[in-house]
Amino acid sequence: MAVPKKERYEGSELYRIRHSTAHVMAQAVMEMFPVEAKIAIGPPIENGFYYDFDLPRPLTPEDLEAIERRMREIIAGNHHFERRDLSANEALKIFTDQPYKIELIEGLEQGGMDEYGEPIEGLPEISIYTHDDFSDLCRGPHVERTSQINPDAMKLLNVAGAYWRGDERRPMLQRIYGTAWKTVDELEQHLWRLEEARKRDHRRLGKELDLFSVSEAVGPGLIHWHPKGGMVRKIVEDYCREQHLKGGYEFVYSPHIGKAQLWETSGHLDWYQEGMFAPLDIEGQQYYLKPMNCPFHMEIFKSRTRSYRDLPLRFAEWGTVYRYERSGVLHGLLRVRGFTQDDAHLFCRPDQMPEEIDRVLEFSLHILRAFGFEDFQAYLSTRNPDKAIGTAEEWEAPTEALRMALDRVKIPYQVDEGEATFYGPKIDLKLRDALSREWQLTTIQFDFTLPERFDLSYVGKDGQEHRPYVIHRALVGSMERFMGVLIEHYAGAFPVWLSPVQVVLIPIADRHIEYANSVAERLKEADLRVEIDTRSERMNAKIRDAQLQKIPYMLVVGDREVEANAVAVRLRSEENLGAMPVEKFLERTRVDIEARR
């Protein structure tokens, strides 16, 4: 069921409200530091806006309150937002003492970027928007008057450091984040989600639950999995590997580096070099760390003659790739410099292609559902005639197959006309987590270039050579990012089957340790992951710690339990199930694990 393309955020009223609120905030900050404040950029973002300032001192929470108060006064002034188009020279005169604006105007003049310094095509118009006595370099759009901003539905949230133009060699600015909504109710809901997201932040939980870390000694954006996080990741990978085998995939392994020539053949050095680390010199040859696994899988395909009977071939690899990201944009597990893709490349004949697409889409949904996700939204990107390789006719069958597969799996999707990359149409699959945040995970991407570039072929029924279709598929995408999504989705309280420690035994006194050990042995025989808390803490302290560690089951054992050969079961939700025989407890865990609860 195709749903019409959502009204683009840029065209929405909320966008105009937030953009206008950002201008009002900038005015209030300028008034606070009339001489010293230098303003940078202030765009609307998802759920809010920000503005970057160069200020003589760090802002305090009291400052934010004062700025917010002044914003309410400005809003009450019911000022008109007025647009004026002007030449670069005129604009430079207006912003004479604003070095960041001057840099942006000069950039606008040369073309290729917008007023936020973001790349765009062609030469932009230069315009300013003025309300009250504040003017900003801006192409809009805005609300007509400040009174269209609801003063009780906006709030300044926090201040963070941000490098000018995201470049760590440029000055560090102060970024004020704010949010604005149409109603107080919407604002309150948003603030609740933010608070909940803060509690669930995977970086914080990663530390508290001892799942992973990043070490300065190793380098930013490079993740270490600790035993507990490593256990969760192993379970995720084991489950996925098993499903891949059932799904007709074969596993391959490929090296982490490859010769420059390989990346020339694949085209990565033409269009992806910015994302690649500098080459290594090995005996006078240049080698690159792999940013993608594709060229290796193409080489494996090419390593022998393939017959039409061999197809489809589905090569899967948990391949660790390295991509250059500026240190300023790195973020926990979500944006890193080294990550493992659950990558696959599908090679098929044209007549197999529609079924192959159906399969891979259903397979992807099946796996994501197993991890507890239910709410999906797909995006189909189609050919952009201006930059696509291949003819419209060549694109038609694959695009149609993607569309029909989406219709069959009955998830909502949106067609992004002309949004495909130059080398083929694709489906992006996003899911919503427990806080209804959207995460892009799966990509199913046709590629018309690689079969040509690597001169792939199979021998058809007719004895002639034919080109196979190649489809890239990353399912959860990056293992690191997916783990981050899982941690936040479950707030660290993983379902029993994913929990690194499933059961903790809590002996009440030292004399119960021996019994606790014997119970632990029985549980381990049943493949449960068990710990015993033998510290000489009080029972309640041990229970509280286990709850903080989000361990699903706490089994308290004291004199009565030893006597009755039982365990007193408590859940991390604080529910107390009371005493039960060990066998009965085992039965319960079996049910929970099978249901992936």
Residues that bind Zn ion (CB under 5 A): 136, 138, 294, 472
- Least separation in angstroms between residue 137's CB and Zn ion is 7
Catalytic residue selected from 79, 306, 323, 481: 323
Q: Is 199 a catalytic residue?
A: no
Say which amino acid occupies 89: N
List all residues 6 or more positions away from 325 whose beta carbon is below 8 Å from its beta carbon.
221, 335, 336, 337
Q: Is 246 a catalytic residue?
A: no
- Least separation in angstroms between residue 416's CB and Zn ion is 20
Catalytic residue selected from 472, 481, 512, 572: 472
Alpha carbon distance, N-terminus to C-terminus of the chain = 30
| β-strand partners of 209 | none
Query: How many residues comprise the chain?
Result: 597
Q: Is 23 a catalytic residue?
A: no
Helix (H, G, I), strand (E, B) or coil at 141: coil
- Beta strand pairing status for 503-507 and 530-532? parallel
Give one DSSP letter per residue of 319-388, joined into a string. EEEE----GGG-BTTTB-SEEEEEEEEEEE-GGGHHHHHHHHHHHHHHHHHHTT--EEEEEEE---TTT-
Rank residues 472 and 489 by Cβ distance to Zn ion and give the closer one: 472
Catalytic residue selected from 200, 294, 383, 428: 294
Rank residues 472 and 570 by Cβ distance to Zn ion and give the closer one: 472
Give one DSSP letter per residue of 36-55, joined into a string. T-EE----EETTEEEEEEE-
Lookup result for tokens 């929970």: 592
Catalytic residue selected from 131, 345, 570, 572: 345
Question: b/e string for 430-444 if b means 16 or more Cβ within 10 A?
Answer: ebebeeebebebbbb
Contact 428, 420 (CB under 8 A): no
User: Which among 496, 467, 196, 484 has a CA at the least distance from the CA of 333?
Assistant: 484
Q: Is 294 a catalytic residue?
A: yes
Rank residues 294 and 506 by Cβ distance to Zn ion and give the closer one: 294
Rank residues 136 and 488 by Cβ distance to Zn ion and give the closer one: 136
- Least separation in angstroms between residue 441's CB and Zn ion is 16
Contact 345, 456 (CB under 8 A): no
- Least separation in angstroms between residue 342's CB and Zn ion is 12
- Least separation in angstroms between residue 315's CB and Zn ion is 10
Rank residues 286 and 449 by Cβ distance to Zn ion and give the closer one: 449
Q: Is 38 a catalytic residue?
A: no
- Least separation in angstroms between residue 410's CB and Zn ion is 27
- Least separation in angstroms between residue 138's CB and Zn ion is 3
Instruction: Give me 238's structure tokens.
Output: 């084991």
Rank residues 294 and 456 by Cβ distance to Zn ion and give the closer one: 294
Between the CA atoms of 438, 444, 449 and 453, what dihedral angle is there, to the nearest 10 degrees? 110
For residue 333, how far is the Cα from the chain centroid?
9
Q: Is 297 a catalytic residue?
A: no
Q: Is 345 a catalytic residue?
A: yes
Catalytic residue selected from 16, 244, 426, 481: 426
Rank residues 142 and 202 by Cβ distance to Zn ion and give the closer one: 142
- Residues tagged active-site: 294, 323, 341, 343, 345, 426, 472
